[in-house]
Amino acid sequence: MPTLLDTHIRNRFRVQPNHANNNETLHGGNLMKWLDEIGAMSAMRFAGETCVTAQVNELAFTRPIGIGDTALVEAYVYDAGTSSVRVRIRAWREEPRTGEAEPTTESSFTFVAIDDDGRPTAVPELRVDSEEGERLLERALEADDS
């Protein structure tokens, strides 16, 4: 059985001019793509199967990420159903020279594990067996309640 921390993935993307909108900040669609990709990787690490996006829950962009900044994306599984997996996803604007970071986006995505024929397939039970895992789980559940 995988643990929550087994599914914890962080990745960075350098924001280039081709990622930007007319305001010279990261286009929301590009960030959504990166959130979806990292979220799917987390879900697949948990399920051991291909996972497809079923739902994007509330997604708000609270601050822009400029050209030259780094988008830091974090994802981890915090809940599992029969074939579905809920993944908490957060993003930050990171200054690449200093590492100074500001939160920009937070959401949860639901993925469904599928078999080779594209049909939903069972996922394992999620284990949380560390203080860090408990902290992340609590944060995800609190965000769901708000």
CATH number of the domain residue 84 falls in: 3.10.129.10
Tokens of 136: 């992340």
Extended beta strands in the chain, E state:
9-14, 50-56, 60-61, 70-80, 84-94, 101-114
pLDDT in tens, 71-95: 999 999 999 999 999 999 999 999 9
Residue 45 domain boundaries: 4-145
pLDDT in tens, 91-124: 999 999 999 999 999 999 999 999 999 999 999 9
**pTM assigned to the model:** 0.94
Number of neighbouring beta carbons within 10 Å of residue 58:
10
CB 70 within 8 A of CB 10: no
How many separate domains does the chain show? 1
Contacts of 61 (CB under 8 A, 6+ apart): 28, 31, 104, 105
* Cα gap 63→105, rounded to integer Å: 8
